[in-house]
Amino acid sequence: MNTSVIRLKTSLQDSVLELLNEQIAMEAHSSSTYLSMAGWCYAQGLNGSGDYFKKQSGEEREHMLKLFDFITDAGGLPVSPDVTKIERSFEGLRDILVKALEQEIAITHSFNRISDHCHKVKDYQTARFLHWYLDEQLEEEQQARRCIEIYDLIGAEEGGLYRIDKEIIKLKTKE
Ligand code: OFO
């Protein structure tokens, strides 16, 4: 299909489509990063945290597909992203938890930026679609922050890591 046909089919503006496709790539990267974190946790015997991050990885893939489907429904061309530069070595569980929170904050900023752009170019349909992500990010940041609190409150010494690991997965089973 040539580009001119696609342009006739969609009301999505090029700049919005580009940002949505960039967000697809960000969600895919996030999904792979969480899977990498899960792998590291399992290798340390931290199975609760491994399960937590594997589940989180699946959720990021769902976020990616939701964007993919939105673009498709709007008549645009969604792009399957290359996923590269996934971090594989970590200093410890706390390092992973901090990185997970930083990743979620970066995603929130990205959605704010896209929403802002949608309002500027008067694409209210996409802006409304993005509300779901803004709500979701509030929850995801809160959960990532809670993981760090749990780590610091229990403390990793004297078997604490074992308890932390058990508490972290409980956050996902409550959902
Ligand atoms: Fe955790 O973020 Fe996707 O959207």
Helices (H) and strands (E) in the chain, counts: 7, 0
Pocket perturbation via mutation, ligand 1, pick of 107, 109, 112, 113 by most ligand atoms within 8 A of CB:
107
Find tokens 């760090």 and name the residue: 148
Give just the sign of the alpha carbon dihedral 118, 84, 35, 155: negative
pLDDT of residue 2: 57
**Other C-beta atoms lying within 10 Å of the C-beta of residue 109:** 11
The predicted model scores a pTM of 0.92
Rounded to 5°, angle at Cα 173 from 158 and 105: 80
Query: pLDDT tens digits, the chain, 175 residues: what are they?
Result: 555 655 567 789 999 999 999 999 999 999 999 999 999 999 999 999 999 999 999 999 999 999 999 999 999 999 999 999 999 999 999 999 999 999 999 999 999 999 999 999 999 999 999 999 999 999 999 999 999 999 999 999 999 999 999 999 999 986 6
**125 is in which domain, residue-wise?**
3-173
Alpha-carbon distance of 101 to 150, in angstroms, equals: 14
Count of domains for the chain: 1
Find tokens 């001119």 and name the residue: 4
pLDDT of residue 10: 77
**Which CATH number goes with the domain that contains 37?**
1.20.1260.10
The protein residue whose alpha carbon is closest to atom 1 in ligand 1 is: 104
Q: Is 63 in the pocket of ligand 1 (CB under 6 A)?
A: yes
Whole-Å CA distances, 88 to 34, 40, 57: 10, 7, 14
